[in-house]
């Protein structure tokens, strides 16, 4: 598969385009890029970088009003870079830098979280409290598969908590071997299932790495090759998941991959009201006082905290909501969207 050669030829052809003549030359370069991908399509059929390039070309052709019919030309030879930091040194496994070179702007990002009961904050800033007992996919796209397994928070309760998380980083040629991360209650390891702490022996292996933030309680997984960071935490008897993903990565799925809690939230039949009903294990006012200590803004994180403490009787759920809010503060590209009020 020669997709990397197609990518580098396209970048070389467009890197120095400026001024009013840019439009026609840019369209010529895009048509050449498209032709190059078609020539290598047979050998690249299973390559994620190839499919990403094909979709990217289509988007750029539409955005720049380029006709699919028209001249194509070999890329202009590029003068040598004046220093060692030219494109030749660009690592294909550094998503943000590659995106900046291709599009002239940094990528956009989206945030999703699952914590507590579980409560789901979707990529579109919808917020649901879910029953979802058993295993449900949080994400299922071309790059990532994330599954959360839930069990009842207490005997006889409708509410559930996440007791196990499985995260699969799918094989990406040049960058990483497929890696599986698994966390369970009282076992939040700072390594993948095979014992490694990075993406393996490929040239871009270091573009995927695990960092231990708090031993046995909080790990961060950075996947630079897809512009994505994931946090896994344990607070009390539940696990939480947070992700900051590049928009292109979050949208890389087909119609068949339609059940993703991070994309569509939990199905209507699985949604719970956060209004306290009946007798809880802790009085609502006591829960509110406990939650207010950690969450002074009475937004959905605060409401979720109250719901969880009332339902479970476990004050550790204040830490779960607080951790989710801290992850959102770090991961959300738009700070004004941090708090959601319902």
Whether 17 maps to a domain, the answer reads yes
- 88 pLDDT band, cuts 50/70/90, is very low
Whether 38 maps to a domain, the answer reads yes
Whether 133 maps to a domain, the answer reads yes
What pLDDT digit, counting tens, does each position of 283-336 carry? 999 999 999 999 999 999 999 999 999 988 889 899 999 999 999 999 998 888
Euclidean distance between CA atoms 82 and 342, whole angstroms: 55
In this structure, what CATH number is given to the domain that contains residue 241?
A: 3.40.1000.10
Whether 204 maps to a domain, the answer reads yes
Residues 203 and 147 in one domain: yes
More confident residue, 181 or 106: 181
Residues 60 and 115 in one domain: no
Residues 120 and 7 in one domain: no
pLDDT higher than 60, residue 77: no
Residues 51 and 131 in one domain: no
Q: Final residue of a domain: which of 235, 270, 305?
A: 270
Whether 306 maps to a domain, the answer reads no
Q: Final residue of a domain: which of 270, 298, 331?
A: 270
Whether 153 maps to a domain, the answer reads yes
- 21 pLDDT band, cuts 50/70/90, is low
Residues 59 and 139 in one domain: no
Sheet of 160-169, strands arranged across = 134-140, 144-152, 160-169, 179-184
Specify which residues 168 forms β-bridges with.
145, 180
What pLDDT digit, counting tens, does each position of 113-166 carry? 999 989 999 999 999 998 878 899 999 999 999 999 988 876 766 668 899 999
The fraction of the chain above a pLDDT of 70, given in percent, is 91
* Cis, bond preceding 230 (omega within 30 deg of 0): no
Residues 40 and 115 in one domain: no
Euclidean distance between CA atoms 256 and 307, whole angstroms: 34
Residues 113 and 219 in one domain: yes
Residues 173 and 247 in one domain: yes
Count of structural domains within the chain: 2
Residues 256 and 116 in one domain: yes
Residues 60 and 117 in one domain: no
Specify which residues 111 forms β-bridges with.
244
Quote the pLDDT of residue 193: 95
Sheet of 218-223, strands arranged across = 208-214, 218-223, 228-235, 238-246, 109-115, 119-121, 127-130, 271-272
Residues 195 and 53 in one domain: no
Euclidean distance between CA atoms 51 and 189, whole angstroms: 33
Which residue from 179, 180, 153, 155 is spatially nearest to 165, judged by alpha carbons?
180
Query: Is residue 204 a contact partner of residue 174, using CB atoms and an 8 Å limit?
Result: yes
Residues 48 and 155 in one domain: no
Q: Final residue of a domain: which of 270, 292, 312?
A: 270
What pLDDT digit, counting tens, does each position of 154-208 carry? 676 666 889 999 999 999 988 999 999 999 999 999 999 999 999 998 889 999 9
Whether 99 maps to a domain, the answer reads no
Whether 309 maps to a domain, the answer reads no
Compute the Cα dihedral for 179, 162, 135, 186 and give only its sign: positive
Q: Which domain holds residue 34?
A: 2-64
């Amino acid at each position: 598969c020669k997709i990397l050669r197609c990518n580098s030829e396209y970048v070389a052809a467009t890197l120095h385009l400026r001024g009013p003549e840019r439009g026609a030359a840019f369209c010529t370069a895009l048509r050449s890029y498209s032709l190059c991908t078609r020539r290598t399509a047979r050998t690249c059929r299973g390559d994620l970088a190839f499919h990403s390039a094909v979709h990217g070309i289509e988007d750029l052709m539409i955005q720049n009003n380029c006709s699919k019919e028209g001249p194509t030309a070999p890329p202009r030879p590029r003068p040598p870079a004046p220093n060692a930091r030219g494109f030749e040194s660009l690592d294909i496994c550094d998503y943000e830098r590659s995106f900046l070179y291709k599009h002239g702007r940094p990528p956009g990002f989206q945030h999703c979280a699952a914590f507590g009961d579980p409560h789901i904050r979707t990529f579109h800033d919808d917020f649901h409290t879910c029953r979802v007992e058993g295993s449900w996919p949080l994400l299922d796209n071309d790059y990532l598969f994330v599954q959360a397994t839930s069990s009842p928070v207490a005997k006889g309760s409708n509410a559930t908590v996440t007791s196990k998380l499985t995260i699969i980083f799918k094989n990406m040629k040049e960058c990483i071997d497929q890696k599986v991360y698994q966390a369970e209650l009282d076992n939040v390891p700072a390594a993948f299932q095979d014992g490694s702490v990075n993406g393996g022996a490929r040239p871009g292996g270091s573009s995927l790495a695990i960092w231990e933030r708090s031993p046995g309680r909080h790990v961060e997984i950075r996947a630079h090759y897809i512009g994505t960071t994931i946090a896994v935490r344990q607070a009390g008897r539940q696990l939480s998941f947070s992700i900051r993903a590049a928009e292109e990565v979050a949208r890389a799925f087909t119609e068949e991959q339609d059940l993703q809690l991070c994309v569509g939230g939990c199905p209507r039949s699985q949604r719970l009201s956060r209004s306290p009903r009946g007798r809880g294990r802790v009085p609502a006012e006591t829960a509110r006082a406990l939650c207010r200590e950690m969450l002074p803004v009475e937004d959905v994180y605060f409401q979720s905290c109250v719901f969880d403490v009332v339902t479970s009787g476990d004050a550790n759920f204040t830490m779960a909501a607080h951790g989710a809010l801290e992850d959102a503060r770090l991961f959300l590209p738009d700070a004004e969207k941090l708090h959601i009020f319902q």
